[in-house]
Amino acid sequence: MIDLRSDTVTKPTFEMREAALEAEVGDDVYEEDPAVNELEEYAAARLGKEAALFVPTGTMGNQIAALTHCRPGQEVILEVDSHIFYYEGAGISALAGVQPRTIHGTRGVMDPEAVRDAIREDDIHLPETGLICLENTHNRAGGAVVPLKNMQEIYQIARENEIPVHLDGARLFNASVASGVDVKDYAAQADTVQFCLSKGLGAPVGSIITGTASFIKKARKWRKRLGGGMRQAGIIAAPGLVALKTMVGSLRDDHDNAQLLDSGLRGVEGLSIENKVETNIVLVNTKEAGFTAKEFVGKLKEAGILAISYGPYTVRLTTHHDVDREDIEEVNYRISGIVG
């Protein structure tokens, strides 16, 4: 079975497994786990931030950011298809007590002037704008890279209005590899950044939040409140450090394989590619082929390919470390047989 559902299905490498076995551990709630501390210090330096916090998931990282930045009753500006708004169970409202204010972007990219216009005036009738959230790469836009210039413009508007910016950078290293922009340059356009170790980087579990030392101190308490205080977490932090140090370069292969998938499927009558493939996600429209997305996903499974539906007629295919060029060539061949 060739699994293209997500880059979250990657298996840890031998080096990651070995690191877990040999990790020196301690109680992380007491900040005494050497492997966790090393990971946090390395991650902070890698993104050019003062401090970092290891958390179990990217969703928890984003929720902690909202909880730490905001007060209940405030409003958060974010793109209408952003992961925080679309896929996190209304967490920012349920947990942080904040209201989302969505902006329709173009391929996940918000117009800076639309962001400026969405910032609330000082009026007793209106919620205060407490946070602006960005996402790079943008998941529902097909792994689109948000341009550095766009982030710079939005961050400048935020600073002028004394509003913090949080970057959901779950696949930030994909953006960096695709664009050639250093992750530090992206991270500099946000006060806090969350990125995942367990997607394209291939670690078994975990994400990182980075920011100022004072922010991370507050975030650590929110992690504890949410049940994310971990004990001998070096067992999972050590593979994360290996992933961060060794797996970034392999993202280029994932992107190349996505391009191969893109070019192969463009030649299949009835299928069309909805996104500009920049990183490791390909969105396939199945309407002209006479299948709904769910029907097509079922056909793919019968052919030994796993994918996910992403809309009525949209199927998402995601390349990752555990599929190679030969696998993608086989996927293209099998799909041409399904539609043909």
First to last CA, the chain: 21
Give the CA angle between residues 188, 51, 129 to the nearest 5°. 55
For 214-251, the pLDDT digits (tens) are: 999 999 999 999 999 999 999 999 999 999 999 999 99
CA separation for the pair 102, 77 (Å, rounded): 6
pTM: predicted TM-score of the whole model, two decimal places: 0.97
The two structure tokens encoding residue 234: 């070096």
Beta carbons within 10 angstroms of residue 174's beta carbon? 28
Helix residue spans in 233-274 (DSSP H): 234-246, 251-265
Q: Do domains 11-246 and 250-339 have the same CATH topology?
A: no
Which tens digit of pLDDT belongs to each residue from 189-202? 999 999 999 999 99
Overall residue count recorded for the chain in this entry: 340
Beta strands, E only, 80-198: 99-103, 129-135, 165-168, 192-196
Q: What is the residue extent of each domain of the chain?
A: 11-246, 250-339
- Residues in the chain, pLDDT under 50: none
11-246 maps to which CATH number?
3.40.640.10
* Per-residue pLDDT, 339: 84
Count other Cβ atoms within 10 Å, centred on residue 55.
24
CATH of 250-339, one of 3.40.190.80, 3.90.1150.10, 1.10.760.10, 3.40.50.1220: 3.90.1150.10
Residue 340: what pLDDT?
67
